[in-house]
């Protein structure tokens, strides 16, 4: 394999790596963005909505898997926004059975108190989607680096093929046939 052929292989390798990193970055960024949308929305609700105190007065036991008999619990919470107006909230499903009478934080929208959410935001809900976004961004950077290296390798390949010094060492087809 001549050095010119080796440089062509190098150009293709940089191009292929760049394409792989570009595709990977697009997939990871899209997946991370979709996955982080709901937790981020829940976080914003707790930052912008009013806070009050509610009380757990019951729970619903919901079967998750009939084969294993796995259950989850949804707390039924009462909270008041105005006097003589009690609103019922069903919390997200949890592994632990809620304790009746326990006081909990409730965040609600003044315009639509029925869309309330219970408790503080669990920051762990955004760790995995954030990881996807970070790896996606790193893949995009690696794709750009690979494409830049491909351009440099192509430029060097073109310079080498047009160099007068290199041309002296390459046998010319016209002269060999005579």
144/15 Cα distance (integer angstroms)? 10
Give the global pTM.
0.59
Could you tell me the residue range of the domain that residue 88 belongs to? Answer: 50-115
Let me know whether 110 and 99 are in one domain. Answer: yes
Per-residue pLDDT tens for 29-48? 999 999 999 888 888 888 88
Dihedral sign for Cα atoms in the order 137, 140, 142, 144: negative
Let me know whether 40 and 56 are in one domain. Answer: no
- Structural domain total, the chain: 2
In a domain, 178, yes or no: no
Residue-averaged pLDDT of the chain: 83
164/161 Cα distance (integer angstroms)? 9
Let me know whether 36 and 90 are in one domain. Answer: no
Per-residue pLDDT tens for 106-156? 999 888 888 888 887 778 888 889 999 999 999 999 999 988 888 888 887
- Would you place residue 158 in the very low, low, confident or very high pLDDT band (cuts 50, 70, 90)? confident
Segment 61-70 shows an average pLDDT of: 87
Structure tokens at 55: 């009380």
């Amino acid at each position: 394999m001549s050095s010119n052929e080796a440089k062509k292989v190098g150009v293709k390798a940089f191009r292929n790596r760049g394409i792989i990193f570009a595709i990977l970055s697009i997939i990871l960024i899209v997946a991370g963005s979709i996955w982080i949308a709901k937790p981020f929305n829940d976080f914003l609700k707790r930052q912008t909505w009013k806070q009050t105190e509610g009380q757990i007065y019951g729970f619903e036991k919901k079967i998750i898997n009939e084969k294993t008999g796995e259950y989850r619990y949804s707390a039924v919470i009462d909270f008041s926004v105005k006097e003589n107006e009690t609103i019922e909230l069903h919390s997200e499903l949890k592994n632990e059975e809620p304790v009746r009478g326990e006081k909990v934080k409730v965040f609600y929208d003044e315009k639509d108190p029925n869309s309330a959410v219970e408790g503080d935001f669990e920051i762990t809900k955004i760790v995995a989607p954030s990881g996807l976004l970070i790896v996606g961004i790193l893949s995009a950077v690696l794709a750009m680096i690979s494409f830049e290296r491909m351009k440099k390798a192509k430029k060097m390949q073109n310079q080498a093929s047009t160099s007068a010094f290199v041309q002296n060492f390459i046998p010319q087809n016209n002269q060999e046939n005579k």
